[in-house]
Structure 1
Amino acid sequence: MSSYSISSGLKDTLIETTFFALDDSQSNYDVIIQFHSAEDIPKMDVFGHADPYFIAKIDDQISFTSTILSNTATPKWDDEKWIVRNIPLNAILTVKIYDKDDAKLFDDYIGKFEVLNLINYHASITGHKVIGPFNRYHGFFHLSIQSMESSEETKHLPRYTFDGPCRYSRHDSFAVGCLTMLNPDCIYSTWKIQIRRISVFFKPQERQYWNRKYKVAQMIFGNCLLSLASQSTLKLAHKVLYGRTLKHNENGQLNNADDLWKFVFSDRTTKRIKPCIYTYVIDDNTWRFSETDAQVFADVASKHALLANASEYVRYAGQFHPRPKYGWNNCDDEWELVFDNESGTYAPNAYLLINLKNLLLFNFPGLNIVTYEYKDPKLKESVTELKHAIEKYKNSTTAIQHLVLTCPCVP
């Protein structure tokens, strides 16, 4: 089990990233962008209004994707905030608005606008004019920007560092759910969580590239036609698992460890924490994971390459599972997450497990985290106990759902 000190850990990682730091003579700025609303958004289909969402980018270096709002010409994104550290004085914000259409391969493009003076921004009363194809007027967009010079701490961060808030999205796939049968509802969920300052805790020179000694990884990333076919298949499967849709997505903001347990790891039916094993990757911007199941990945070469969208590297990867801190007989007490580095595809270094722990504790203070190297006997013991708990959980969940379905409604 690894030890942890959030203050010393953050201090060390900040010092070690000074190779990224900018010259003192350069101007460094932090911005807080609040996306508010839009109006007069045109409908792109024959019936109803648009289902708008937007993608914002700063200098094509960092991006923000909003939630999808259904059937409206006047969308309001009052909770959509974006904090970015260390951007240059001449940074440009570009916002593109789209109409989500689950029936189409590509979403309809509505229009875009740019903010050229991001640091000294003054909001227009009428908002920003959205210009669509053929230079047509496609509505107005409202936002506000707060900017400040980078502090002594943040000016040592890498350029364009995402610094919150942490937002999660869950996508439910019924097609994959029918294959896995992990629950009676036939739903298979994948999660994506935007987490802060990944490059501080996992520096770019420590990226974990694919394992050249692993035969499956050679098949995916090697220089042959089979590798290209494998990558295409993985990217298509990734799109299915993480595809944004109108009906089968949940989005929200995670402010602390309690939110993580409540909105991510609690069963939606029983409201209890679900015992299971998750496969995860940390990429350049997000923590992605899904429940591990042999059936769903039976025809997939690598679970981790699938989650990483066939990327040749990740920041970290492995598996994790929740467990009661004081044993499975005390499920009503504190819980903890147990992480390992078990990934044949990327073979992440065990010494970086402490960085993983520091990263998650920085984003979710108070979260109980235990880390094991994948060969550690304590990990095997924990997984064995977990499997027994999973069987008990399945039986109790089936009983609860049966009661819900058969119990007469009370007026």
Structure 2
Amino acid sequence: MFESITEKISSLVHHHREKHSEAASIVPVVEEVPVSKNWDFEITFVGAKNVPVGDIIASDPFLVAYLGPSDDQNTLSYITGVHWNTLNPEWNAKWNVQNVSDGTVLEMNVMDKDKMKEDTHLGKATLILGPQLEGFQEHTIEIIKPDGRTRGNITVHTTGKRTTGKAAALDKPTTTGPARYSRHTSYAAGILTHENKFEFYAYRIRLYHILEVFGSDPAGYQHWNLDYDAAKRIFADNLEGANIRNALHSQHSYLYRHDRKTEYGALT
């Protein structure tokens, strides 16, 4: 009987050791978070002081920013709202970008909005992004006019941190927004569309990641409907087609024109 008790105790001890050994061999798997040499930035275009004059005594300034070369169609860009009749605009517009390589140039172009003709380039300022901008910093940067002289300055806030997670696996910079929008008021459009009110709102939203979703190869784009008679007239390679397209472009420009009643915001 004593031997039987001894065997049971031995069996229990052996079983306990096996369970302890198995538990010790189970090591929690900690998922490694990729860390990049690149940077994420929250950029706030605060405003500008004493911008160059675009009209007679003032300007209608807005800012167009590029994360890299402005002549590259793949470069990320950002547009603020327009401030009317001022040389001291306050935009307070935020732009969040990820996976920005060290040495990338943030180019900020100050533009003067013209209602009926092409916008005027008033000047630009640049800021080099990289590890020297880690954490929160405020920058006051001189505006260089097209003739090379300086006038006024832009105030920009940046908050930089190392790129981690999924963004670190990307092969180019990207943005998390926010998506800016503008709301345009048109009395003429309200009349033309037979609205009850003599007022019509048109919204324009600036979306990102279009090329990532649809691709950059025109061969993969959806062609216009070749069986639609109206489309045939619009895209016809003749004088009538050219006149129709010009008229549509003019209507589009009028509908989405910027004026003092235009409202700006962001979708987050």
The TM-score normalised by the length of structure 2 is 0.70
Q: Give the Cα–Cα distance (whole angstroms) in 2 for the partners of residues 75 and 218 of structure 1.
A: 46
Residue among 182, 186, 196 paired with 1:183: 196
1:77 paired residue among 73, 80, 91: 91
**SS of equivalent to 2:164:** coil
Question: Match for residue 34 of structure 1?
Answer: 44
SS at match of 2:254: helix
Would you say 1:254 and 2:263 are equivalent positions? no
1:124 is displaced (CA, Å) by 8.4
Matched, 1:120 2:131: yes
- Whole-Å Cα distance in 2 between the matches of residues 89 and 226 of structure 1? 52
Are the structure 2 counterparts of residues 233 and 29 from structure 1 closer, same or farther at C-alpha, using a change threshold of 3 Å? Answer: farther
The DSSP-based 3-state class of the residue aligned with 1:209 is coil
2:179 corresponds to 1:166: yes
Greater fraction of residues in strand: 2
Shift of 1:93: 1.5
In structure 2, the partner of 1:216 is 230
**Counterpart contact for 2:138–2:157, Cα < 8 Å:** no
1:196 to 1:229, Cα distance in 2 relative to 1, 3 A: same
TM norm structure 1: 0.48
CA shift for structure 1 position 53: 1.1
Runs of 5+ consecutive residues of structure 2 not aligned to the other structure: 1-33
Q: Distance in 2 between matches of 1:45 and 1:198?
A: 35
Map 1:189-268 to 2 at 5 A. Answer: 189-195=201-207, 197-198=209-210, 202-204=213-215, 207-245=221-259, 247-255=260-268
d(CA) in 2 for partners of 1:213 and 1:114? 49
How many angstroms apart in 2 are the aligned matches of 1:226 and 1:156? 50
* CA offsets 1:266-286 (integer angstroms, 9 cap, x no match): xxxxxxxxxxxxxxxxxxxxx
8 Å contact from structure 1 (residues 164, 196) kept in 2:
yes
Deviations 1:244-301 (A, max 9, x none): 22x231112234xxxxxxxxxxxxxxxxxxxxxxxxxxxxxxxxxxxxxxxxxxxxxx
For the residues of structure 1 that align with 2:264 and 2:193, how far apart are their CA atoms?
24
Percent of aligned pairs with the same amino acid: 28
State the Cα deviation string for residues 74-110 of structure 1 (Å, max 9, x = none): 22222x00112344334222111122343x5233332
| CA 1:156–1:107: 2 relative to 1, 3 Å | same
Q: Secondary structure at the match of 1:230?
A: helix
Distance in 1, matches of 2:226 and 2:173, equals: 32
How many equivalent pairs are there? Answer: 225
User: Which stretches of structure 1, 4 residues or more, deviate above 6 A after TM superposition?
Assistant: 123-126
Give the CA deviation at 1:56: 0.8
Who wins on radius of gyration, i.e. which is larger?
2
Q: Paired residue for 1:142?
A: 155
Tell me the secondary structure at the aligned position of residue 135 of structure 1.
coil
Query: Quick check: 1:40–1:139 contact (8 Å CA) kept in 2?
Result: yes
**Counterpart amino acid of residue 254 in structure 2:** V
User: Does the 8 Å contact 1:163/1:197 carry over to 2?
Assistant: no
CA positional deviation for 1:191: 0.6
1:217 alignment partner, SS class? helix
Instruction: Report the counterpart of residue 7 of structure 1 in structure 2.
Output: none
User: Structure 1 114/252 Cα, relative in aligned 2: closer, same or farther at 3 Å?
Assistant: same
Between 1 and 2, higher relative CO (CA 8 Å, sep ≥ 6) is seen in 2
Determine if contact 1:118/1:145 at 8 Å carries over to the other structure.
no
Change (3 A) 1:213 1:90: farther
Decide whether aligned partners of structure 1 residues 145 and 62 sit closer, same or farther in structure 2, where only a CA change above 3 A counts. Answer: same
Name the amino acid aligned to 1:209: H
Q: How does 1:9-24 map to 2 (within 5 A)?
A: none
Q: 1:37 to 1:177 in 2, by over 3 A?
A: same
Does residue 119 of structure 2 align to residue 107 of structure 1? yes
